[in-house]
Amino acid sequence: MMASPTYDYIVVGGGLAGCVLSSRLREYDDVAKILLIEAGKETRSRSDVHNMQVLNLGGELDWQYQSEPVKALMGRRITLNAGKGLGGSSAINSGGWTRGAAADYDGWAALVGDERYSYKGQLPWFRKSELWFDDKNLEQHGRDGPIRVTCAKASNRVFPLAEKAAAGWEELGVSTLPDGDQNSGNNLGRAYICEARSDGKREWSANQYSLDGVQVRLETFVNRIVIQKIDGNLKATGVELADGNVVNGHNIIISAGAFRSPQLLQLSGIGPKTHLQEFGIEPLIDLPEVGKNLSDHMIFFQHWRLRDPSAGHTIGSTNPLFQQLQYSQGVPFDWIVNTGIPRDGLAKAIERDEGTKPRESEHVLLAKDRTFIENIIMFAKLPFPGVPMDAEHITSALVSFLPTSTGSVSLKSGKPGEHPKVNLNYLSTEVDKHVFREGLRQMTRFMLESKFSDQIIGESIPEGLPVEALALDDSDDKLDQRIAMTGGTSWHPSENNIIRKGLITNETTPLQVGNGNFAFSVDTTGMQTYLPFNTMSSWAWHNDTEPAGDTVDAYTGIQKQTHGRNVSYDLPDPTLPDVSQWLIGNPNRINLGRIGLRFNDDTLPSSRISNTHQELDLWHGTITSIFTIDGVKVKVVTQGDFDSDAVVFTIDSQLIESGNLKVELDFPYPPIHTAKYKNEVFVGVYDFPTNHSTKLSANLESNTAHIYHEMGTKYYVNLRWPQKASLELKRLGLQGSTKPTAHRYVLSSRHEKTISFVAHFSPDKRVPDLPSTINRRSKAGWQDYWSQGGFVDLTESTNPNATELQRRIITSQYHVRVNSAADGEPPQESGLMNNGWYGKFHMEMVVWHSAHWISWGQDRYFHNIFPAIYEKLLPTSLTRAKKMGWEGARWPKMTETITGRSSPGGINAYLMWQQPHPMYMAMLAFKSKPTQKTLRRWDPILEATADYMASYAWFNQSSGRYDLGPPAVGVTENTPPENTLDLAYEVAYWRYGLDVACKWKQKLGLPVPEHWVTVAKNLAKPPQIGGLYTVYEGLNSSWWDDPALNRDPRSLIMLQGILPDTPAVDREVARRTADKVWDVWTDQNIRGWGRPVLAINSARIGNPERAIYHLTAYDYWRFDDAGFAIRGGDGNTPPPFMPGNAGFLLAVAYMAKGWDGSKGDAPGFPKDDGWVVKSEGLRKAL
């Protein structure tokens, strides 16, 4: 062997990573001697690599590794393409440009305790690598990197079926990501496929990263790493080449890919000792993990026959569109769709793999929404044996994103030139099998059942494949058979150790200031410098443009047979899908505007701030945010007005005086609500600047300004600053501009280093109060709030759970005041933070949102809402009942006060338990104010409600009882409407409500309608089986083993929970039922307001130990750092979940003060176990 010069760095493998690393090493140290060794050929001058029309798979630039037989794929061997040439696989693949999910990076950072590994820590490097194709979202994307990134839209590659496909995915609940961008930390949703490409030419690492100053040896094979013992320690000193020569180096870096890197380590004596000895290799370092944990993304292709091939929808057709050059310069699709899978089935699969039930809040696959499947619809027929290459087909592909099956790479022999032994071990876990099955079922629904299905005849099966086309009801076995026959690799191997330790997530919902009618959510700057943070109110609503074609008035509901007659229910009309969706999504609550910081004439990049510190002063309702920008301190104090819809900012920094730091006010347009239950964490889009207008009128002499915003809805942002201040406000964009900045304004100081101003949002133009006035008023208001009403003190408790419970009590009181105390209406489930249900509130949730106000002695906030909300909704509720053929008032489920309309929905139309709520709320009102005035005001509401309830019940000739339903949907929304009769909780609540209505009339000295009494006394009893209550009539005892029902049996708990005592409920049966629920309702299935109702029930049946367990099950019932309750489960609303906070407070009051008829102090807390409970100002619950 011949010696060689010694290099500072030897990089083995000139693939994507090797080229980038060598280039950056050279950039960092321009005198370092760097050697890059690549086994393959030069690629930088090859036209077949530059040309994006060609995937260079299978040729001389491809290693073409072969796997071992894959058991799950019928013993087939899989060809594993991997780049063999300078640039590696980036020189032969399709050039996709995809970042990982922020959740993964953040999890790694938490694991190693180093924020540099977090998504935020990596973001500067992501941005540095790319030259993004447009100016959107430059906080996330770079414009001066070496890799030019484009997408189908930017390269004018628009496919005729793309919008149809989008509608299909939207129907399945898959929304489009903001700006169609999956490279911003969240990839769950529909997004543009991004490609490393420019003008149709490939961008690959060897060509885009300069290797000037790096010595490159091509077509040079490395046999092994030379490892020597120096001063008693093993050290890598060089590499041995195939010709026997040794190249010496101080630092040896292996970058030879997922297959060759572990092989090279093992050939060098690093790996599992016994395995190395098998091939006569001396084990220098016994590392059993080398070669383990091989992971790869499986792929599954299907071919679908088009209904109308002559329409020219695919590449290969005669459509002249596809003759344009750009369609031959990229992949034959424009979007990819990343989807998750339902948590219930996933949790069961995890349990089968791991032997124990996973904790949803902790398990890495469950704690956050994740992408499990990448779905691709290719508007072309890919080459595949047995399916003709014509314009009659399109191709779909499923790619598994989070495989838990792991394979291995080991030696076939001790010969360096022989390929390694690759065991893929696909589908060896129940999780992977479940994920792929669910992915296939979803794709089948998309092709055969969604709005895209009118384009498809069906699946085409390749000739000779002994299977049938997939159907919607296929069994697991049939799906497994198809996967086994044609599943393959998507060429994404990695050789990383999979982290099996669960990561406790730390989702922090933004802090807020506000007053119940108005809330301003802030980021770490104390403003809204970054998305997604909203300014929301109880009064600002908007209607989308009505759908083309049929008018909204054409909707009349759907007729259903109900006990011998047709009744029109508010169900989505399949003949009017757009109208139905419009009625569901409109009107919708809007984001009033964004107020943030601007640095050096652009939105302040998050990468420029550091040393962040933020505190919420609960006593005064003030947020103080301190941070540095390029080392210069900035302090922002944010305060909401306790009485008006205004927010005050005081910003102090030398950067203001220098002119570098300014304030920007920005006005997005409301999202277009074409998707069912669309989550809107940021309630706004910047895609339609010409759909709305803004106008500035300023009087700088009086230190006021007004920005008028019109989008159908009209309102003002009224600005004011102190007289001594010298501020300037100007418009950044031009009216009529099509840029996202069209409605952006900049507020700056001329001389001072402090800016203080008020932003007041109102339908009217007015001059708001000065910042100092609002500061005094708000502090006094918050002090009054905290000083009056109830309080619970646990600080003398020695129980280790007491501190967190106390934190939750205090923060929940703040959050309900900010989010749940509007005048005249209850909150939506996510309060004034964001929109989960288009901003609409749910009438069945009013008890959970508002009952606590009475228990905590904050009666005025209850009386601000009730009975006003029922009075507003009474006219439309009377009309609704009459239209359906019943008397009285039928209250809606999901609604708002502008129209009082009941939003169409399969649950909305049939849900029952909101109907008796007025009786419950009236009793709370009377507990607070036991006066004739209370009785008289509530009487019309109770009378209309009782009239409906009595007429809705139908007399069963066979039983001699009055029954409820079908159709009906119960509390847990998981019962079959057409078969649901006499729901246990609803029947008992019906009896309670009618009894209250009768007694109400008696208190007023008025006659009681006879039919109320008749129905109440003869109403069916809550059904029982085997001495236990059951969810509804007709079930047998096996229902306790039915996961569709036993995963959420809270309605049975409620019989002796928030429902006061009623003759309909047998206390002993209710107690036994509660014990049974304790056995079957597992912790990971309890979500939403399940914990509060369980705690209330446990207290009422005399089991305080169980009650406190439910309130302190912190591993399962999570409150984030800000103190917001997390709903959990697979719900459709984003955090926060305000019924969780409000229900928690109600439960604490039950436990600390008791309920009507309870005995002693703190009846819901254990008398020992370290609990010391002090309270004042509380009121017993009903």
Q: What is the mean pLDDT of the chain?
A: 90
Q: What is the pLDDT of residue 507?
A: 29
Same domain, yes or no, for 611 and 679?
Answer: yes
Same domain, yes or no, for 360 and 464?
Answer: yes
| Structural domain includes residue 274 | yes
85, 186 contact by CB (below 8 A): no
56, 40 contact by CB (below 8 A): no
pLDDT at 1009 over 90: yes
Q: Which of 787, 809, 838 is the last residue of a domain?
A: 787
First to last CA, the chain: 91
Q: What is the pLDDT of residue 231?
A: 64
| Distant-in-sequence, close-in-space partners of 1073: CB < 8 Å, separation ≥ 6 | 1028, 1029, 1052, 1053, 1055
229, 247 contact by CB (below 8 A): no
For tokens 């569901």, the residue is 584
Same domain, yes or no, for 482 and 362?
Answer: yes
pTM of the model: 0.62
Digit-coded pLDDT (tens) for 238-257: 999 999 999 999 899 999 99
Q: Which of 770, 787, 804 is the last residue of a domain?
A: 787
| Structural domain includes residue 340 | yes
681, 532 contact by CB (below 8 A): yes
Q: What is the pLDDT of residue 824?
A: 92
Number of residues that this document lists for the chain = 1182
| Distant-in-sequence, close-in-space partners of 661: CB < 8 Å, separation ≥ 6 | 597, 598, 599, 604, 629, 634, 651, 653, 655
Q: How far is CA 589 from CA 534, 849, 1095, in A?
A: 11, 19, 33
Q: What is the pLDDT of residue 888?
A: 98
Q: Return d(Cα 789, Cα 852) in angstroms, integer.
A: 11
The percent of residues above 90 in pLDDT, for the chain, comes to 68
Same domain, yes or no, for 406 and 273?
Answer: no
Task: Give alpha helix (H) positions in 212-304.
Answer: 257-267, 273-278
Q: What is the pLDDT of residue 497?
A: 27
Q: What is the pLDDT of residue 1010?
A: 98
814, 795 contact by CB (below 8 A): no
745 or 735: which carries more pLDDT confidence? 745
- Domain of residue 1054, CATH code: 1.50.10.10
pLDDT at 503 over 80: no
What SS3 class is residue 1116?
coil
* Whole-number CA gyration radius for the chain: 33
Q: What is the pLDDT of residue 1133?
A: 52
Same domain, yes or no, for 264 and 372?
Answer: no
| Structural domain includes residue 170 | no
Q: What is the pLDDT of residue 117?
A: 77
Q: What is the 3-state secondary structure of 974-1027? A: CCCHHHCECCHHHHHHHHHHHHHHHHHHHHCCCCCCHHHHHHHHCECCCCEECC
Q: Which of 291, 325, 360 is the last residue of a domain?
A: 291
Across the range 275-288, mean pLDDT stands at 90
Digit-coded pLDDT (tens) for 1128-1171: 654 445 678 999 999 999 999 999 999 999 999 999 999 989 99
Confidence of residue 198 (pLDDT cuts 50, 70, 90): confident
Q: What is the pLDDT of residue 506?
A: 25
335, 153 contact by CB (below 8 A): no
| Distant-in-sequence, close-in-space partners of 574: CB < 8 Å, separation ≥ 6 | none
Q: Print the domain residue range for 471.
A: 189-195+293-489
| Structural domain includes residue 155 | no
Q: Return d(Cα 790, Cα 281) in angstroms, integer.
A: 75
1042 or 1014: which carries more pLDDT confidence? 1014
Same domain, yes or no, for 356 and 390?
Answer: yes
Across the range 1051-1055, mean pLDDT stands at 95
Same domain, yes or no, for 441 and 475?
Answer: yes
- Domain of residue 718, CATH code: 2.70.98
Digit-coded pLDDT (tens) for 285-330: 888 889 988 999 999 999 999 999 999 999 888 899 988 988 888 8
- Domain of residue 472, CATH code: 3.30.560.10
Same domain, yes or no, for 1129 and 1031?
Answer: no
- H or E stretch covering 895: strand 894-895
Same domain, yes or no, for 204 and 300?
Answer: no
| Structural domain includes residue 246 | yes
pLDDT at 675 over 50: yes
| Structural domain includes residue 147 | no
Task: Give alpha helix (H) positions in 47-136.
Answer: 47-50, 102-112, 119-129
| Structural domain includes residue 218 | yes
Digit-coded pLDDT (tens) for 359-418: 887 788 998 899 999 999 988 876 655 556 578 889 999 999 899 999 999 999 999 999
What are 694's strand-pairing partners? Answer: 709
Q: Return d(Cα 199, Cα 190) in angstroms, integer.
A: 25
Find the farthest-apart pair of alpha carbons in the chain and give their distance in angstroms, rounded. 112
Digit-coded pLDDT (tens) for 104-124: 888 776 665 556 778 888 898
What are 634's strand-pairing partners? Answer: 627
Same domain, yes or no, for 611 and 722?
Answer: yes
Pairing status of strand 541-542 against strand 622-629: unpaired
| Structural domain includes residue 1130 | yes
198 or 432: which carries more pLDDT confidence? 432
Q: Return d(Cα 1022, Cα 1014) in angstroms, integer.
A: 17
What SS3 class is residue 477?
helix
Q: Return d(Cα 467, Cα 482) in angstroms, integer.
A: 7
Same domain, yes or no, for 684 and 697?
Answer: yes
Q: Return d(Cα 216, Cα 224) in angstroms, integer.
A: 18
208, 49 contact by CB (below 8 A): no
**72: how many CB neighbours lie within 10 A of its CB?**
20
Least confident of 796-800, 827-831, 835-839: 835-839
Least confident of 164-173, 349-358, 996-1005: 349-358
Task: Domain count for the chain, please give it.
Answer: 5
**734: how many CB neighbours lie within 10 A of its CB?**
11
Same domain, yes or no, for 273 and 328?
Answer: no
